[in-house]
Chains A and B, each alone.
Chain A
Amino acid sequence: TVGCAVLDTFCHTACATSTGGITAKMPGRVGDTPVPGAGGYADDQVGAVSTTGHGESLLKVCLAHHIVTTMATGMPVSDSIQRSLEYMGQRVSGCGGAVAVSRCGEVGFAFTTPRMPWAYAKDNQLHYGMHPRE
């Protein structure tokens, strides 16, 4: 799965997520990716999120919307993602990750899998990583 969240210079947000799914999936199986609120969510009043992980788990907790709702409380973006992933892990045992940007331009990312390649561009600088604590 791949995904992106953006805040543009007009202070509008958007997200996109795309996937080939999971190896050996049943034909016709659809995971979280195309479902607003699960595979991604964008609301100019809060921010934008793109998720990745075990699709059935993400669908059950509406992970992207859960993250945006948590961000709306004022919690830092990365903490909001981490908190939502922990909730998913506790309730349905699934793993995953997400990237997000708030309406103020705060970037966040977190994952509960061994790795997730991420990168963000802000203030003409590129930041990136893949392993935990990078």
Chain B
Amino acid sequence: VGGVVVVHGGAWDIPQHLWKASMEGVKAAARCGYQVVGGGGSAVEAVEAAVMMLEDNPAFDAGTGSVLTLEEEVEMDALVMSGAGLQAGAVAAIKNVKNPVKVARLVMEKTPHVMLAGEGANHFAASHGITQVPPDTLVTPYAKQELEIMKKYSTSVDTLFNVSPQKLPQSGHD
């Protein structure tokens, strides 16, 4: 097998204005990952490269373009897993980093742990040279708009799935 790369950009009711950007985004990410494996790179290097490209694309809910919490902040989660030895690394509720997947890989490769969360994840990222970015650089106007609309209908995630779909904007999820 000469290497295979498959990517997704999230399963949800994607609004039409994001269709083209979403499609171009996943195509570019698949090409990116394929170039890595084609050049002799490892599967871990390829998934990191492809997902970083998706994180940097504001059309997707990850990295730049992440949605907002009720307190109007960005909290991101990421996972990397290698099938060779079932090694895994993850971060949860990390803030102010451009590429959470990069930190997840560092957790996998530089610690004996599987997951670091919150401030601990941010401290770990900083100690490994990951630059902290201003929170606003991760937030898009669409994310702000969506939060304002959501606030009219809900104060919890579960409620969003119990409200008539006609009342809600087209919302993404994990």
Residues on A facing B (Cβ under 8 Å): 1-36, 39-48, 50, 52-56, 58, 95-101, 103-105, 107-109, 111-124, 126, 128, 130
Contact string against A for B residues 8-26, beta-carbon threshold 8 Å, 1 for contact and 0 otherwise = 1111111000010011011
B residues near A (Cβ < 8 Å) are 1-14, 19, 22-23, 25-27, 29-31, 33-34, 37-38, 40-44, 46-48, 50-51, 54-55, 60-63, 65-71, 73-84, 86, 88, 90-93, 100-101, 104-105, 114-115, 117-118, 138, 143, 146-147, 150-151, 154-158, 160-161, 171-174
Q: CA of A107 to CA of B3 in the docked complex: distance in angstroms?
A: 11
Contact check, A22 vs B34: say whether CB atoms are below 8 A apart: no
Query: Which of B5, B40, B50 has the largest count of A CB atoms less than 10 A from its CB?
Result: B5
Which residues of chain A have C-beta atoms less than 8 A from B160's C-beta? 22-24
**A43: B residues at CB distance < 8 A:** 83, 86
Closest to A11 in B: B1
How distant is the Cα of A28 from the Cα of B27 in the complex, in angstroms?
Answer: 32
Q: Are B173 and A22 in contact (CB under 8 A)?
A: yes
Contact check, A1 vs B61: say whether CB atoms are below 8 A apart: yes
B-chain residues with CB within 8 Å of residue A104 when the two chains form the complex: 1
B4 pairs with A121, CB closer than 8 A: yes
Report the Cα distance A54→B23, complex, angstroms: 21
Q: In the complex where A30-B77, A119-B7, A130-B19 touch, is A23 in contact with B13 (Cβ < 8 A)?
A: no
| A-B contact sample (10 more), CB < 8 A, given A19-B77, A23-B171, A117-B26 | A4-B6, A7-B4, A14-B82, A16-B81, A19-B10, A20-B138, A23-B67, A31-B173, A115-B11, A121-B5
**Given contacts A31-B77, A44-B84, is CB(A1)–CB(B62) below 8 Å?**
yes
Instruction: Please judge, given known A-B contacts A1-B174, A22-B160, whether A14 and B42 are in contact too, CB under 8 Å.
Output: yes
Interface pair A9/B37, CB less than 8 Å apart: yes
Please name all residues of chain B whose beta carbon is closer than 8 Å to the beta carbon of A26 when the two chains form the complex.
69-70, 156-157
- A2 CB contact (under 8 Å) in B4, B13, B62, B154: B62
Q: In whole Å, how far is A2's beta carbon from the nearest beta carbon of chain B?
A: 4
Q: A48 touching B83 by the CB < 8 A rule?
A: yes
Q: Which residues of A contact B3 (CB under 8 A)?
A: 6-9, 122
Tell me which of A56, A111, A119 contacts B6 (CB under 8 A).
A119
Return chain A residues, CB-CB under 8 Å to B155. 24
Pick from B3, B14, B61, B151 the residue with the most CB of A within 10 Å. B3
Sampled A-B contacts (17; CB under 8 Å): A1-B173, A2-B54, A13-B82, A16-B101, A18-B55, A18-B76, A19-B78, A22-B173, A25-B67, A29-B157, A44-B83, A54-B174, A112-B11, A115-B12, A118-B7, A126-B27, A130-B22
